[in-house]
Structure 1
Amino acid sequence: MNFDRPGRGGLVLGVPREAFRPSPIFLTLVALFVASGVMAWNRYGNVRFDVFLFVVSGWLVSLCLHEYAHALVAFRAGDREVAHRGYLTLNPLKYSNVLLSIIFPVVIVLLGGIGLPGGAVWVDRHAIPGRLRHTLVSLAGPATNVIFAVALVIPLVLASDYDAHWEFWAGLALLAFLQLTASVLNLLPVPGLDGGNMIQPWLSPQWRRGYDLMAPYGFLLLFALLWNPRIGGWFFDVVFTVGDFLGLPAPLYGDGLQLIRFWQG
């Protein structure tokens, strides 16, 4: 990457360096994630609330990284406007739809224990040449969830005993499970979601027109699919199978879901 330094303020490919600095909001989320993890480990105060903070802050961090990955790959592929919009600062308030990207997914986590994908980063597709680059931009987000899931599962697999710090391990297992559900959901070929956007550039013009008509209703289509008992069952079968393959302890993430609902007593 080339650097241009006109005066005191540096530029990265024509964009001020400030556009790449992590925002205080994101750094606060990371600090909360680490601090609440330590509190859950040591059973400080109300341990159920500790686990709640641990899981929710960790999930918010992963959402920021998911959208950041989209923006970073788009920037490297040719869309410089993602930097000017603040997407590369990891600030969730800069997203084009905070409700769908942050608030709604957190509510779904608390109610149903599913890592729902959100639509946040607006990418100028006209600024990005080549179908492969478009696919990579869409793939970057789910790939981040996959990496996050594997990174969270590793300490769970290496741990020999969960009893001493059971609440912490349950929260970590739930967070890993959420990453698995987000990975699978984001890779589904649903119009408007990452999985659908990955294949959209490769469609024929006729199919692409139909895709573009359906894309705004991708979330509704996703809910309709998951509401169907058979399709929903297939979805969770895939998630459970992947979790078992990675070594994610099934009882633990169920315990974690109960723990984060601290208001239930």
Structure 2
Amino acid sequence: MTSAASVHRDHRRPSPVFLGLVAVMGLSGWLVWSEPASLTGFAVFVFVVSGWIVSLCLHEYAHARTALHGGDVSVGAKGYLTLNPLKYTHALLSVVLPVIFVIMGGIGLPGGAVFIERGRVRGRWRHSLISAAGPLTNVLFALVLTAPWWLDAVDGVPVPFRCALAFLALLQVTAALLNSLPVPGLDGYGVLEPWLSPRARGQAEPFAPYGLLIVFGCLWIPEVNGVFWDGIDAVLRSLGVSEAETYFGLEFFRFWSGEPDPLYVGPP
């Protein structure tokens, strides 16, 4: 009988691709902090995109790691524990599309990537935890990014860096909220699915490939969109982050449209 401990060490080691992403995030973050006028907007763009991809890797790693301890040791051989985004089942859905949505709309699109062999996992609680692990990782990442605010340590943080952190935190909150919806195909439904009757699961299964499209279709409805963003803003405000900081974070991020004047980006 195989167990989590039997997974080869090489299958657990962080990949050079992931470590490279972390290095890019760190270097671009340093550039944003140091505020070289000619690089600020581009540095914010690289910092946010690399940070967003790092969060996607951690999201999928959380699913895989929880599945490993739930009984699916196949995640090791598939490379899911190396945090390498190139190992995902659907790199397009997991990395490319989420990055495109960030660039186009400033919203954290939840991706779907690791293939869990659910037949290896025993117990409904374990199945639910596997699905919940991803969104919880986004929540944890959002808490880390907003630590300067809720620790009351934001004074002295350069404005561009503060706004970049705020925008990256917004992406984490949107991803966590969207992925937690009880819609077939999303992690929120995955948490509930083990507790549903076979008939209910069978009725929901045909909608799983279109769950995300249904959610984004609903967001085109102005009333739904307003409630959604009001909820996101409320969560960020509870962590001390203002709407102005996330707005200017997006403006810095879209450096090609002209960077905002930092003189107008004051404290909330």
TM-score under structure 2 length normalisation: 0.91
Give the one of 250, 254, 260 matched to 1:261.
Answer: 254
Number of residue pairs aligned between Structure 1 and Structure 2: 255
* 1:56-104 deviations in Å (ceiling 9; x for gaps): 1111100000000000000000001111100000000000111111011
For 1:123, the aligned partner's letter is I
* 1:13-65 deviations in Å (ceiling 9; x for gaps): 32211000000000001011111111000013411001111111111100000
What is the identity percentage for the equivalent residue pairs of Structure 1 and Structure 2? 51
1:30 aligns with 2:9: no
Give the one of 70, 73, 85 matched to 2:78.
Answer: 85
Q: Distance in 2 between matches of 1:144 and 1:22?
A: 17
Instruction: Give the 4+ runs in structure 1 shifted more than 4 A.
Output: none
Structure 1 residue 168, shift from structure 2 partner:
0.8
Give the one of 161, 169, 175 matched to 2:162.
Answer: 169
Q: Distance in 2 between matches of 1:172 and 1:38?
A: 12
Give the one of 128, 134, 150 matched to 1:135.
Answer: 128
Greater mean deviation of Cα atoms: 179-188 or 150-159? 150-159
Gaps in structure 2 of 5+ consecutive residues? 259-268
1:42 aligns with 2:42: no
For 1:174, the aligned partner's letter is F
Q: Distance in 2 between matches of 1:133 and 1:42?
A: 45
Q: Distance in 2 between matches of 1:156 and 1:107?
A: 28
Greater mean deviation of Cα atoms: 134-143 or 238-247? 238-247
Q: Distance in 2 between matches of 1:12 and 1:188?
A: 30
Q: Distance in 1 between matches of 2:139 and 2:107?
A: 15
Secondary structure of residue in 1 paired with 2:72: coil
Gaps in structure 1 of 5+ consecutive residues? 5-10
For 2:227, the aligned partner's letter is W
Q: Distance in 1 between matches of 2:168 and 2:41?
A: 15
Q: Distance in 2 between matches of 1:207 and 1:224?
A: 23
For 1:189, the aligned partner's letter is P
Q: Distance in 2 between matches of 1:95 and 1:74?
A: 15
